Homo-oligomer: A and B are copies of this chain.
């Protein structure tokens, strides 16, 4: 089982690495991560900093750059004047959608020509991976 853990991990990381290297990126990795978080739901800078494992000042700058580029917008919180709620702009949503489409296309090209059996294996493996990583 140690061999499986190693091989599976390597395979996943290789896919990930190549996707990140080979799909065009209008965004630096840390910026992309933040946009993905915000595409799930609006969040505060503090939340983002915790999720991305960076400090508050660092996230503050990252967010500032994304706001400047028109991908993210700030809004005041009605109940707490200290809080700034961040969310994607329409442009930000478009950029994320484009980037995701490129990444999915990279993967789709590599799955072309697989047999139905092979695809079934990969479907089951995907479900297993999701389940297992949720632990």
| Chain A interface (Cβ < 8 Å from any Cβ of B) | 1-2, 4-9, 11-19, 21, 53, 100, 103-112, 114, 118-119, 121-126, 128-130, 132-133, 135
Contacts and interface: CB of A to CB of B under 8 A. Distances in A.
Contacts of A6: 100, 104, 107
A2 B129 contact: no
A68 to B, nearest CB: 26
Contacts of A104: 2, 5-6, 9
Contact of A126 (B8, B110, B126, B130): B8
B8 A19 contact: no
Q: Could you say how many copies of this chain the assembly holds? A: 2
A104 B5 CA distance: 6
A6 B124 CA distance: 14
A19 B11 contact: no
A126 to B, nearest CB: 5
Contacts of A111: 1, 4-5, 8, 132
Contact of A107 (B8, B16, B118, B124): B8
A102 B28 CA distance: 27
A82 B131 CA distance: 52
A133 B5 contact: no
24 contacts: A1-B112, A2-B104, A2-B108, A4-B123, A5-B108, A5-B111, A8-B111, A8-B122, A9-B15, A9-B104, A9-B106, A9-B107, A12-B12, A12-B15, A13-B15, A13-B19, A15-B133, A16-B17, A109-B135, A110-B133, A121-B125, A121-B128, A122-B128, A124-B125
